[in-house]
């Protein structure tokens, strides 16, 4: 499974430092890009037949902390969610993401709520685009695409 962070942070330096957060879903654009790459091959290939594509919070803590808050508010957590073991919680979230990508289950409402939940600093959590190949022979294509898209660099400096 390959991941691409699609939530960016841009610093605008003024007399009072300001941070601007931008984010997008990205699934439509990723599918369009992949489809165009596949079209070049000349074969009749469809992106939906070759890849599972979805968007999730960048950090599993977004989900585990949200579920922890639900539990504290005495709201029912998913029945098979391991409330006491953080490693098991992380594995639970990873397995759920994969099942959602594969279309085995639909994304639960609590997961969508956690992704749209403003955290303590009034910012939504960073989101990540996930692409899972249905056939390993397409992994190299995704690896190269993700390598390119994740290759941006940034530099910061201060005058004065």
pLDDT of 148 above 60: yes
Structure tokens belonging to residue 122: 């009034």
> pLDDT per residue over 32-72, tens digit each?
888 888 888 888 999 999 999 998 988 899 999 888 887 67
Distance (Å, whole) CA 133 – CA 4: 14
Q: Which residue has the higher pLDDT, 18 or 93?
A: 93
What pTM, to 2 d.p., does this model score?
0.73
State how far Cα 38 lies from the chain centre.
Answer: 23
DSSP track, 88-113: HHHHHHHHHHHHHHTTSSPPPHHHHH
The distance between the two most distant Cα atoms of the chain, rounded to a whole number of Å, is 58
Distance (Å, whole) CA 65 – CA 67: 5
> pLDDT per residue over 118-133, tens digit each?
665 566 778 888 889 9
The confidence score (pLDDT) of residue 95 equals 95
């Amino acid at each position: 499974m390959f991941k691409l962070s699609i939530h960016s942070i841009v610093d605008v330096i003024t007399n009072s430092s300001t941070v601007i957060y931008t984010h997008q879903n990205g699934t439509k654009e990723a599918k369009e890009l992949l489809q165009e790459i596949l079209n070049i091959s000349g074969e009749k290939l469809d992106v939906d037949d070759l890849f599972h594509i979805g968007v999730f919070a960048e950090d599993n803590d977004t989900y585990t902390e949200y579920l922890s808050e639900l539990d504290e508010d005495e709201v029912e957590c998913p029945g098979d969610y391991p409330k006491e073991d953080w490693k098991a919680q992380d594995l639970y979230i990873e397995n759920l993401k994969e099942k959602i990508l594969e279309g085995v289950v639909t994304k639960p409402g609590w997961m969508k709520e956690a992704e749209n939940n403003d955290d303590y600093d009034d910012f939504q959590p960073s989101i990540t685009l996930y692409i899972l190949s249905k056939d390993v022979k397409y992994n190299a294509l995704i690896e190269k695409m993700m390598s390119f898209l994740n290759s941006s660099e940034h530099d910061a400096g201060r005058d004065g």
